[in-house]
Chains A and B, each alone.
Chain A
Amino acid sequence: MSLLEVRDLKVSYGGIHALKGIDLDIAQGELVALIGSNGAGKTTALKALAGLLPGTGQVHYAGQSLHNLPAHQRVRAGLALVPEGRGVFARMSVEENLHMGAYCRDDKAAIVQDLALVYTLFPRLAERRAQLAGTLSGGEQQMVAMGRAMMSRPRLLMLDEPSMGLAPMMVEKIFTTIREISAQGVSILLVEQNAKLALEVASRGYVLEGGKITLSDGADCLLGSDAVQRAYLGA
């Protein structure tokens, strides 16, 4: 049974239909990529799943309907979002940022353990733990955002464009960490414009175009498919 089951999810801003009914499944422990060009509705889909935007349709998470469940309760249920543009708390230190990730937990001992885990995942953050997050480089901020999301002990981690605006070396590093998080058994929904990168780490992928899912297949098949090659890989 899938961890996340999305059926006919629609979102509109005023009169504009950003998502025209999409279906999506993510199994426990799976890494799924959602690719598409600018304005295809990728971020809208993630925000709707996180409860930050109102949408219609059925969303079931771990067998439970998420209908009308507000954003802050979805986090408690184990759905964590790393927002587009990272959204670090600029005037808080790295460590304060990570602690904010554990805002809805009160098991102090386990939080300390998880903090240590995040620091092993991102040794760079351990070096900079007292530094203000706003003064970090883009890549480091992405690490803070991901580490912060991990502090909520998610079952499903949703990443919105983690490669955006980063140096190639840093992108590689971030994607290595995404693999590591996935290997720990966390299910991941990865939204990316960089289709090649995303499909290389994912096991399955969905292609979103104009608010609709036009293709869905195993990641290898998508990488090899003509349509994806033409549209996203420039081949």
Chain B
Amino acid sequence: MRNVPDFLRPNKRNAWLAFVALGLLLLVLPFATDALLGRGWVRIVDFALLYIMLALGLNIVVGYAGLLDLGYVAFFAVGAYTYALLGSPQFGLHLPFWIVLPIGATLACIFGALLGAPTLKLRGDYLAIVTLGFGEIIRIFLNNLNAPLNITNGPQGISQIDAIRVAEFSLGRSQELFGITLPSVHLHYYLFLALTLLVIFISLRLQDSRIGRAWMAIREDEVAASAMGINTRNIKLLAFAMGATFGGVAGGLFAGFQGFVSPESFSLMESIMILCMVVLGGMGNIGGVVLGGVLLVVLPEALRNGAGPVQQVLFGKTLIDPESLRMLLFGVALIVVMLWRPAGLWPSSQRQRELEAHDGEAQQEQDTVYDASR
């Protein structure tokens, strides 16, 4: 703390200033991104917000309750397809978004409980395999529910999905607000930002609640947790249902934003990516999960756009196609981060303490015999 300038010292006033600065930054972010990097990047920022919601939802299951879920994208799919089926020419239904989104969230919640119920006695690798299977079942169903009765339109997916719209105010086209023209991607940004902040708020409150402590107890030791009087069955189901609900909300927004859904968007790779966001960012820590979500969306895009020009500068020509280099670099980045920071980029304070305490452990074991005589 000695050489830190005054404005960086943590105190109440600085905390407020930082808060206001962050708020302003988030408000102007789409305009700044648009001006500096182009419209396409605003779209990427929107996707980053969707993935943050997903990662925070999975964080409840994996980070808080310690239940390894490899099929999380299924709930994203349930939310997205609910929106797509109820708000598109597919069935000629055009229900408004504020009705469809809660329906999607509720359905995802029910599916979460449905996945949770048969897997209550499973943990770790076994649970991972069952959830993986569940995720695939949902995707395969979506892929094949076009015959004999066409529900999901199969692999072609559902297109011309209604834009997110409240009364006459549609997010699907540019709108004039307070004399400023807001393009569609900007409008989506503000909606997604508001919902992401809501999800962060709920996660924070859950973390410090009775339910949150029960989840952490189950994560640490399930037998002991039930010996504490925790109804482990209900609390685990609640974790699955809560996490799934967040996924369902994100799914609905995704469908409305894209205007198109197909089973391809809900592959196992997506589940793995969301899990990577949670683990790489810092399991159980909201800030870390948000950071993980931002990085894992932005990094592949940055590599896609950056790998070509960098090669031009270094070698004078493009040696390797940026598109094929992208995932290689991305994989390397994942490995490097996990080696360098095994608890994630921004671990929860508990994980942090645990890693720091690790060195002191051996010494303490030795002290025990001596201490016992005190």
Contacts and interface: CB of A to CB of B under 8 A. Distances in A.
Do A and B originate from a single complex?
yes
Given A92-B220, A152-B228, A137 B368 contact: yes
B226 A134 contact: no
Interface in B333-374: 350-351, 353-354, 357-358, 360-361, 364-365, 367-369, 371-373
12 contacts: A72-B226, A83-B223, A87-B221, A89-B220, A90-B220, A100-B213, A136-B364, A137-B364, A137-B367, A137-B371, A152-B228, A170-B372
Nearest to A71: B226
Interface stretch (B130-138, B151-159, B229-237): B229-237
Task: Classify the interface of chain B: helix, strand, loop or mixed.
Answer: helix
Given A52-B227, A136-B364, 10 more contacts: A72-B230, A81-B227, A87-B227, A91-B351, A92-B220, A100-B217, A132-B354, A135-B357, A135-B361, A139-B368
Size bin of chain B's contact surface: 20 to 34
Contacts of B368: 137-140, 167, 170
A110 to B, nearest CB: 16
Given A131-B357, A132-B350, A167 B372 contact: yes
Contacts, number: 107
A82 B223 CA distance: 10
A101 interface: yes
A76 B373 CA distance: 36
A124 B354 contact: no
Interface string A18-51: 0000000000000000000000000000000010
B216, B351, B360, B367: which has the most chain A beta carbons within 10 Å? B216
B214 interface: yes
A75 interface: yes
A13 interface: no
User: Which of B216, B220, B367 has the largest count of A CB atoms less than 10 A from its CB?
Assistant: B220
A101 B357 CA distance: 24
Contacts of A172: 372
Given A124-B371, A167-B368, A135 B360 contact: yes
A73 B216 CA distance: 20
Contact of B224 (A70, A83, A138): A83
Given A92-B220, A135-B360, A173 B372 contact: yes
B232 A72 contact: yes
Given A134-B354, A135-B360, A138-B368, A169 B228 contact: no
Given A92-B220, A92-B350, A75 B228 contact: yes
A104 interface: yes
B228 A167 contact: no
A80 B372 contact: no
A88 B353 CA distance: 16
A100 B227 CA distance: 10
A169 B373 contact: yes
A148 interface: yes
Interface string A108-141: 0000000000000000100000011011111110
Nearest to B224: A87
A103 B230 contact: yes
A121 B364 CA distance: 21
A169 B368 CA distance: 9
Given A76-B229, A167-B372, A135 B224 contact: no
| 9 closest cross-chain pairs (CB), A and B | A87-B224, A75-B229, A169-B372, A104-B229, A89-B220, A137-B368, A135-B357, A170-B372, A87-B221
